[in-house]
Structure 1
């Protein structure tokens, strides 16, 4: 009887191992229409890999072969999780953004419309003032902001003028029409640069106008380089979003539906974006809110073409999302490693204003001999 019970568990274990391999392989399956389920499998990879620790504890006193299989299946997840945790001890961060010589500091930050919705309820919003001041005073030479809000006539939300600092920063904006009830101001994306902008543009990525990419070309130390600011489709994870009138089951069904839609949308958006990046005549840095974790198809597809700054010079998990479920790194900076090297990449988790944390990276140009 005991042997039969172990035989049944063995079959469950072997089937679970096959499921784990399918999860790991999902990173190479575009989760578009018809294949959206691959997105859910990739999200589960960390939990699936860690679960083999429990299998290992179960099999160690019983069947050593299966204990070794548990270890192998757990190690098989390593290529899919290589971007999750980093140990780079010599990370360069002079004053979290100041640079010298041929260095370039870039901040990427989803500013959540500078909390303007709170402003509509209370005009003198302290947290909005503090946030706008922090963004304005940060010394990064390039500031890539997603979900900005600007209202020229407002003393609080004339954000573009405040961040530009009377011409210290040049800027390129891609505004959207305002949908607030007062019909004033506008939402959108922006890039602020201490270097003159010689060319700029934007790329509509499809489904929603709020999800797009903008870019600027600047001359940095006699080299023209291109900086992208990106906002891909939302993950739509709101674990506390159900209302008393709706059941928890209905809430989670809605969350899963939105996740599915996000997988499909990001698959199309990243394809358009990567095609545009490939045609760039200049070395690129791509910043923004990708809404994609390191163990996702979107992230791994970008890594086929560009290096990730946090992987090169970050430390720890680098979680960038401040709301539940918290353990998400969805803001990234990718770069052309034949032209740039990364000296430091930092998530500023002490900055409390948005539902995202700022991501600041210090780049340095490689020598001309290395580029050749």
Structure 2
């Protein structure tokens, strides 16, 4: 019975990328739980195989139908390349304000983050939840564009670049600190539009000990509203993308998974997920007690070669930085 329920739930989740949150906001919330359904079905499959029971067929068929979902959750092998010539190194990181309010017991986090970015020889660095901390050093980037959508100098978005920025702008989301910014960057002889995005936050704690059952309805309602706002924000993004003929690179914190409507809408604009091409393991980008969450992405044009992808297991934020090396 339980096997049938979780198999049906996983099968239902395959439709989520095509269901508008504005139409079915409650159903869209299920996209956050897809990794759980995948893992449970894998456990059932192994269990029935061990017992040589024909019930294994149910989970096996459901998992085969969703093989692309599994590759979004876990990759057995990745890519690692020493090729530097003619490649572009990209890094995205939600900085959580450089631990400004001492969430983590460390006084060296601004320095640690600066060192990590420098060590990767990063060409373009997109930072979310940024503020101008005096203990950071990103002087290796001669060009940058920063925008603080809440006008108080906190929780900004920044695009750092070693290549010239010839145009820049902000989508200017209203009544939220979340936002999307862009820069047109001359890379070699091409102009590429880089978007740094931070979609609407759910304000969910990474620590399950903070969840209170008495607030579950309020939490669910808040998540539904944020999903609807994310859809509006992505609609603005896609409309903006269509106005430019430049190749697009999108980096940032989606506050949603690869099983969501917003991810599917963005990826459908001729982009590929660099983790799925070069990543390894779970690709976790957000610290969450229940299961590994991948909510930060680097998306590049479909004709780009992904040479390398890395996750960094460093606890300088509640997010983990992601890095890729690509070749046009």
| Shorter-chain TM-score range | 0.7 to 0.9
Q: Contact 2:79–2:309 at 8 Å: present in 1 too? A: no
Give per-residue Cα distances to partners, 1:151-173, cap 9 Å, x unaligned.
6xxx43xx5xx3135xx421111
CA offsets per residue over residues 118-143 of structure 1, 9 Å max, x none? 39xx9x94333433454456520111
Q: Secondary structure at the match of 2:263?
A: helix
Equivalent residue runs for 1:61-140 within 5 Å: 64=54, 66-92=55-81, 99-100=84-85, 102-118=86-102, 125-135=107-117, 138-140=120-122
1:337 maps onto 2:321 in alignment: no
Larger mean Cα displacement after TM superposition, 253-262 or 140-149: 253-262
Q: Give SS of 1:164's match.
A: coil
Task: Name the larger-Rg structure.
Answer: 1
Alignment partner of 2:26 out of 37, 52, 69? 37
Residues 335 and 16 of structure 1: is their aligned pair in 2 closer, same or farther, counting only changes over 3 Å? closer
Using the alignment, how far apart are the partners of 1:145 and 1:73 within structure 2?
38
1:4 is matched with which residue?
Answer: none
Give the drift of 1:248: 2.6
CA deviation vs aligned residue, 1:294-349 (integer Å, no higher than 9, x gap)? 222222222222111111111111101134345111110111122x2110111111
C-alpha displacement at 1:352, in angstroms?
A: 2.3
Secondary structure in structure 2 of the residue aligned to 1:293: coil
Evaluate the alpha carbon distance shift between residue 323 and residue 93 of structure 1 in structure 2; reply closer, same or farther with a 3 A threshold.
farther
The answer to whether the 8 Å contact 2:130/2:157 transfers is yes
Unaligned regions of 5+ residues in structure 1, if any?
1-8, 180-184, 366-372
Q: Which of 201, 225, 228 lines up with 2:192 in the alignment?
A: 225
Shift of 1:254: 3.5
1:148 aligns with 2:126: no
Larger relative contact order (Cα-Cα within 8 Å, sequence gap ≥ 6)? 2
Partner residue in 1 for 2:225: 261
Say what the alpha-carbon RMSD is for the aligned residues.
3.1
Distance 1:141 1:59, change over 3 A: closer
Alignment gaps of 5+ in structure 2? none
State the SS of the aligned residue for 1:163: coil
SS of the equivalent of 2:24 reads coil
Counterpart contact for 1:49–1:74, Cα < 8 Å: yes
- Of the structure 1 ranges 46-55 and 322-331, higher mean CA displacement relative to structure 2 is found in 46-55
